[in-house]
Structures are given as structure tokens and as C-alpha cells.
Amino acid sequence: MCGIAALATTGETKKQTVRILLEALRSLEYRGYDSAGLAVYDEDEGRIKVWKRKGKVETLVRLLRGVRISAPIGIAHTRWATHGVPNEVNAHPHLDCRGEIAVVHNGIISNYLELKKELIEKGHVFKSETDTEVFAHLFEEEMKSKEPFEAFKSAISKLEGYYAIVAITSKDPERVFFARKESPLIVGKGSDLNMVSSDIASLLRYCSKVAPIEDGEVGWLTWREIYVEKNGERVAVGERFFRPPWTPEQATKGNFPHFMLKEIHEQGTAVKETLMSISTDPRVKEVLELLEGRVVVVAAGTSLHAGMVFSYALGKLLGKDVILLDSSEAYHLEKLLKDTVIAISQSGETYDTLKAVRIAKRNGAKVIGVVNVLGSTLDREADISLYTRAGPEIGVAATKTFLSQVTLLLYLVSRMSGVELKDPHLLVESSIRKSIGYARSLAERLKEKQSMFVLGTGASLPIAYEGALKIKEISYVHAEGYPAGEAKHGPIALAEEGFPVLIAWTPEDEEKLQVAKEEFASRGSEVYWVGPRGDIVAPESDWLHLPFTITPPFQLLAYYMAVLKGYDPDKPRNLAKSVTVH
């Protein structure tokens, strides 16, 4: 994970370099927040200056308050620790021995120990435990005999693993060097600056056009030029540039206290826009033909739950069996990854999902990507991309992107089955209105609990899994989604006085849920019902539309549990929104 951002600029904007990089970091913080750091070339002093702090970007913002610097180039980083504990020494940017090179990196350099040993033998002195610092010294070593870009490329060629790396050197204070292998990297063009970053959202405010950098590409940018090459040949990236479909305002909190609450409330619009876009998408025709054959779905986290909704609906309406694979496990079953593979991913950058996609492509499969971020790796590697139109999702816990994925996938089901999706956005909006007060009061009662079950059956089971995931992710209360009937085969051993059980309603088999309720209640459990006439009230609906009515109450419950416990729901501990490592 980790988020990286860099820029090259000119004129008066040089005085804004630090501020612009901090703004980019704020927007990239969903990628990790173990530490944050920034390095710029201070043109008055003629040297690189670095600031880093353990913890969130705000600590770095405080550290830099009052700092006035004119800097033509700068790099910044927000970290999700892989190698080395999250402290200030291990925070990026990392420097070479002389402080003339600064590097930020997202990914893993797998041969860093061998490289480090060689570099130590040559006299380099290391300060951190990170794999990244190796690159600063490697670059330094190469600079002894080469001009900066040649040295950068040569250093890159020695790396194994995967990375997005950005570096600056005081020996070349107009250029920012970058390279990509598997970890995301996007370049952006602005009026008097150019930028490079891990995602599009962080570029929105300053860049009118963006373009993804592809695997194996290396390059540099100055304020007026972006140069890219691959295997020693110049790559013309001009045609790759596009106008981002999002506005900078979409990536702000507006009047909401947290992104998560804003994004929950944006779900009606996200669902509506996704439905409008997919129902006029010409690629759907080909997708529907592909779906007539054997279908495998790969996805992770919340996206996997959207895949469950899809596979349940296809099974129920058409008797069609879809193989659903958790993408982190899919590679074990590589022979299954053939024919038509649907990869669902909000970010389009989840490492495990991309790994499954690459195996599928090697096996000759047709890959359909269901993705929210245009220009992401999945978008580019899939044979056909279908887009959810949720806008940028900043809260780490996925909310609006889940219901957008569900909308898109159920639209495909509706086209295949002839069963119509009816105004799902209105159901979402009514669900939020109806359930918000109840969710908040139940959160008061549940916030101090240690553990709970969320039971569902049929169409409500994927929502029970998703509801439990939301609760775990942001309130740190152990919550386990479980099939209601299966709960008596083991889990019920946990039932005791005060043990909470939430039940996700479905119209398909209320009786089964009632039985589960009695089984737990008779053993002292506190049982809470989520649905029409429930402890959290949600609108009535048929099973097909159930995700739109009972998902928001669980999201709101999780949100209020986190907030009432004093946690930041937008940045849950240990998590990152986009998991680009395996």
C-alpha cells in the first residue's frame, strides 16, 4: 500500500510545493497512515530538506506549519508499514549517504537484503530497516558514474519485487524521476506544474489531465515535460491522457464530519448514476454473451460480498452456478481461472485480484473488470471494463462503492433474467432516512460489546457478511457474519447472557430467522432485528432489492459504534483502502 506523490513546478507555485504535496497526502491517506513524510529541494539553500513524522498526515501538517520554502521539486509519502516498524526513522522519504537523493516507494523490494549487503560492503551507511532505503543508496552508487536519469534506470534494473518509486536529487533540481512495476502510478498535467502520484483523486485539484504509467515504464517529469520510456525506447504517452471524471469537491468531506458518513449518504446518487451508466453502456452486449458460458468471480473484502450478491441472484433466478473465489486464495486454484472471469475491485489495484486476473489471462480467459477507478490497473488489464459511478471513495471502509457494484451486477442479472431492477436509489435513500436514528441508538448499546454475530439467510447472507465486516473494520468489535441455520452447528456455543446477535431480515424465509432468534434468545442472547418492523427499521423490499434496503442500516450502525467509541471511521487502524501487496 502506501501513497506517494511528487511534483515539479515553476514561478510563484514553487512557494506552494509543500502545501500542494500535503494536500495530495491528505487525499492519499486512505492508502496507509503509519507515518508521513515529505522532501523538497530548497532552491535558496541548494539542498534537499526532509520532514517526517510517525502517525497520520496531520502530524506532518503541524510540523510544517510556518515553513516557507521555494521548491521546484518535491516528493511525499504516507506509509502502510511492510518492512520495519512504523516509526520516524522508517518513515519515507529515505535519503542516500550524503542527503543528495530522496526516495519514496510503494511496494516491496524483495531482493533488498542482498542489495543492502553489497552496498554496505561498498561503504554505504543505512539508517532504517526499510527495503526502500536500499534504492536511495543504489541510486547514489549509480550516480558516481552516470548522469541522473541513466543512474536512476540502472538502479531500477537491479530491483526485484514490485514498486512505484519516485526520487529527486539535488544534482538535478528540476526533474522528478519515477518508475513503476505493478504498484499504481499516475502522472498529471497542470498549468504550471506536473505531478505523479499513486491515484487520480490526489491529482484532481491541480491537474486537468491524467495518465496511468504502465508496468516496466521509467521516466521523469519537469514542470513542462513528462518523459517516459520502456526497454530503452521512448513511449508516447500523450494519447493516454484523459480528463478525470471526478471533481475536486467530490474528494472533500463537505459538511459531514467524516468521509464515511458522507459516502453513506451519497449512495442513492452513486446507485442511480451507476444504473444510468451501465444501462447505456455498449459493452454490456458482449458481456452478456460472455456470461452465457462458465463464469468465475474474483474479488476481495467488500467487493467479494458484492460478488456473493451476484452469484446468489444468478443461482436463484436462472439456476446458473458462478464460481466465487476470494482473490487471495484464487491462485491455488489456477485451473479454475478460465473462460469468463469477472474481477470486482473498487480501486482496480488490489494485488491479489490483479494476480488472479493475470493468471486468468495466461489461461486464455476473457476478463471483465468491474471497477470504480478509471485508468486503474484492472481497468487497463481487463478485456472489458464496466464502471461503477460512485465517484471517489475516501473512507477506508467501502460503502457507496459496494452498493454501486451491487447495482451494476444486478443490472446484468436483470438483463439475463428479465426481472427488472426498480428504482434502487429510492430504496437506498429511504433506508438511510428510516434507519439512521435507530442505528445510532443501537450503536450506544452495542459499542461496549466484545463480540457478536450477524446472521442472515438467502439474499440477506451477503449483507450479513458485509455488515459484520463494517462493524469489525471501524469499531474494532469482533462481528461474524453467519448463515442463520448454520449458527447452531458451533457458533451458538458462544450464546450467553447479553451476547448480541444481529439478524439481517429477508422476505424469503422469515421463519428460519425466527427460529435462529429463539435459539439464541433462549440462551440469554440479546437479539436485534434489522429490517421492516426491526430494532433498526429498514424499508420493506423483495429479496432482489434487499441489498439496497438493509445494507445502509449496518453501515450506519458500524459508523456510530466507531464514532461513539472515539475512533476515526475514515482511517481504521491497520487497514488500507487499496491493498497493493500480497
Separation of alpha carbons 396 and 295, rounded Å: 29
Burial of residue 380 (CB within 10 Å: 0-12, 13-18, 19+) is middle
Query: Catalytic pick from 14, 434, 447, 577?
Result: 577
Q: What is the chain's length? A: 582
Q: Contacting ligand G6P (CB under 6 A), which of 35, 132, 222, 350?
A: 350
Q: Contact region for ligand G6P (CB under 6 A) — 70-78, 224-232, 298-306, 454-462?
A: 298-306
Q: Which CB atom, from 7 or from 186, has the smaller least distance to ligand G6P?
A: 186
Does residue 366 carry a catalytic annotation?
A: no
Separation of alpha carbons 432 and 548, rounded Å: 10
The torsion angle over the Cα atoms of residues 401, 403, 408 and 409, rounded to 10 degrees, is 110
| Pairing relationship of beta strands 451-456 and 500-504 according to DSSP bridges | parallel
Q: Contact region for ligand G6P (CB under 6 A) — 105-113, 296-304, 360-368, 433-441?
A: 296-304
Does residue 577 carry a catalytic annotation?
A: yes
Identify whether the C-beta of residue 416 lies closer than 8 Å to the C-beta of residue 288. yes
DSSP secondary structure code for residue 484 in this structure: T
Identify whether the C-beta of residue 477 lies closer than 8 Å to the C-beta of residue 450. yes
264 binds ligand G6P (CB under 6 A): no
What does the longest C-alpha to C-alpha distance in the chain come to? 78
Identify whether the C-beta of residue 518 lies closer than 8 Å to the C-beta of residue 357. no
578 binds ligand G6P (CB under 6 A): yes
Q: Which grid coordinates belong to 75?
A: 516528493
Nearest distance, CB of residue 480 and ligand G6P, angstroms: 17
Nearest distance, CB of residue 569 and ligand G6P, angstroms: 12
Nearest distance, CB of residue 579 and ligand G6P, angstroms: 5
| Pairing relationship of beta strands 35-42 and 73-79 according to DSSP bridges | antiparallel
Nearest distance, CB of residue 297 and ligand G6P, angstroms: 12
Q: Which grid coordinates belong to 402?
A: 459496494
Residue nearest to ligand G6P (CB): 301
347 binds ligand G6P (CB under 6 A): yes
CB atoms under 10 Å from CB of 114, counted, come to 12
Any idea which residue has 494536500 for its cell?
23
Q: How many helices (H) and strands (E) does the chain have?
A: 17, 24
Q: Contacting ligand G6P (CB under 6 A), which of 36, 226, 579, 581?
A: 579
Q: Contact region for ligand G6P (CB under 6 A) — 107-115, 127-135, 180-188, 342-350?
A: 342-350
Q: Contact region for ligand G6P (CB under 6 A) — 339-347, 502-510, 526-534, 562-570?
A: 339-347
Distance of CA 548 to the CA centre of its chain: 22
Query: Catalytic pick from 2, 116, 355, 472?
Result: 2
300 binds ligand G6P (CB under 6 A): yes
User: Which residues inside 372-411 make contact with ligand G6P, applying CB under 6 A?
Assistant: 396-398
Closest residue by Cα to residue 183 from 165, 167, 195: 165
Q: Contact region for ligand G6P (CB under 6 A) — 34-42, 159-167, 246-254, 572-580?
A: 572-580
Q: Which grid coordinates belong to 137?
A: 543508496
Nearest distance, CB of residue 221 and ligand G6P, angstroms: 27
Q: Which CB atom, from 226 or from 298, has the smaller least distance to ligand G6P?
A: 298
Whole-number Cα distances in Å, 322 to 292, 327, 451: 11, 15, 32
Q: Which helix (H) or strand (E) holds 464?
A: helix 461-475
575 binds ligand G6P (CB under 6 A): yes
571 binds ligand G6P (CB under 6 A): no
Q: Contacting ligand G6P (CB under 6 A), which of 302, 407, 541, 551?
A: 302
Q: Which CB atom, from 345 or from 525, has the smaller least distance to ligand G6P?
A: 345
Q: What residue ranges bind ligand G6P (CB under 6 A)?
A: 300-303, 345-347, 350, 353, 396-398, 575, 577-579
The residues assigned a catalytic role are 2, 577
